[in-house]
Amino acid sequence: MTRRVVITGMGWITPLGHDIESAWKRILNGESGIAPTTIFDAGTFPTQFSSEVKGFDLRKFLGDTFEQHKDVSRQAGFALAAARLAWADGAMDKAAKLDKTRIGVYLGGGEGPMDFDNFTAAAVDGWNYAENKLDTQRWADVAYQRLQRIVEAEQDPNMAAAHIAALFGVEGPNFNTLTACAASTQAIGEATNMIRRGDADAMISGGCHSMIHPFGVTGFNRLTALSTRNDSCITASRPFDRTRDGFVLGEGAGMLILEELSHAKARGARIYAEIKGYGSTADAFRITDIHEDGRGAIAAMRLAIADAGLSPTDIDYISAHGTGTEENDKIETKAIKGVFGDRAKQVPVSSVKSMLGHLIAAAGACELITCILAIRDQVLPPTINYSTPDPNCDLDYVPNEPRRTKVRTCLSNSFGFGGQNDTLVVTAYAD
């Protein structure tokens, strides 16, 4: 019999708040975390705004353990804080006895400002301006020095997982996946499967990311993926709206405590919900584009629903990837129709990226948390800034206002660069 996996703790660091309840309240109020960029001077960039985490102080979350982790990267700091919140929310710190060799970490993460700074500095320092070419020997020397700085500062993308393990003394499996926008959904799915097959009894899982940096913004601007609505940035993230012009870059972290059901029951844990299904596919198409027919997205959703032992008629709500790009929203809509058929227009679909921005590797975990809260409170988060219907996007996107309704089963989509598609199905817990 497959071991059941439940969610017993949650924590996040988001542009709308650093605790579950205040950020959730702002989401239901349709508030936006998007504002002019302050992390760097973006005044000459095509996109001059983002969705930043404001007022963050890692020391407040770590207390006496701060010195051990004070040199982590910005995104790893977000992950540590969110993990600390999830650990406390799950009352793991109050458990009488935990076998920490059976508790692991599985994160979705990626490159960030520390990597960008050192990469660009190495490139500049290694350029022979007199001959207008790269001095490979000098570049190698400089790049090595820069790499040493990253290693010494423990700021590699995988280091967040290592720091979380050290923070709680958990000695079980420890992984980090770098599958871009799908990373934390994939991490949670794979962590679920590790518990199911008996490799661990509990996992700290989720994702973290911060790419609000000249290098990150330039890259997405070059791909024409970012909104350039500088005159009205608070309304720039417009998933599924006909006037959408790209996503808004955000940052943050979302972390969950996943447990095998009997393990959670044995310690008297509060159970929020159950992860019932997981599907993961690749488009095998282009590096930055999803397949025009949505074949990978369709397959991931179908796999997740089948893994849950459910049918499309059982899904009450879809948390869309919903980036606000012309391509993603149109193809995701097509993919939902491919899975749900005639029922597609009856299933509510919304994107909290309209408020949070796109948290890249952290997006899926934070969006799964909103699904769990939707089940808890029987209310759906809205897609804000929706005003102009698009004939290519003709589903029920819960426009602009939250919706009170029966919510038992949610499907959460994440689609990453490289054609990575990951879907989770989460349900209300029942014995």
Q: Give the closest residue to 251 by CA, choosing from 106, 85, 73, 87.
A: 73
Q: Catalytic residue numbers?
A: 181, 321, 358
Work out the burial of residue 263: count CB atoms within 10 Å of its CB; fewer than 13 is exposed, 13-18 middle, 19 or more buried: buried
**CA-based end-to-end distance of the chain:** 15
Q: In a 3-state reduction of DSSP, which class is residue 281?
A: strand
Q: Give the closest residue to 13 by CA, choosing from 196, 206, 275.
A: 206
Paired strand residues for 10: 256
CA distance 61 to 431: 34
DSSP class per residue in 225-278: -B---GGGGGG---TT-TT---B-BBEEEEEEEEEEHHHHHHTT----EEEEEE
DSSP class per residue in 382-394: PBTT--S-BTTB-
Query: Any residues with CB less than 8 A from the CB of 190 and at least 6 apart, and which?
Result: 106, 175, 177, 278
Q: Structure tokens of 336? A: 């939902």
CA distance 217 to 213: 6
How many Cβ atoms are within 10 Å of 424's Cβ, its own excluded? 30
The helix, strand and coil proportions of the chain, stated in percent and rounded to the nearest 5, come to 40, 20, 35
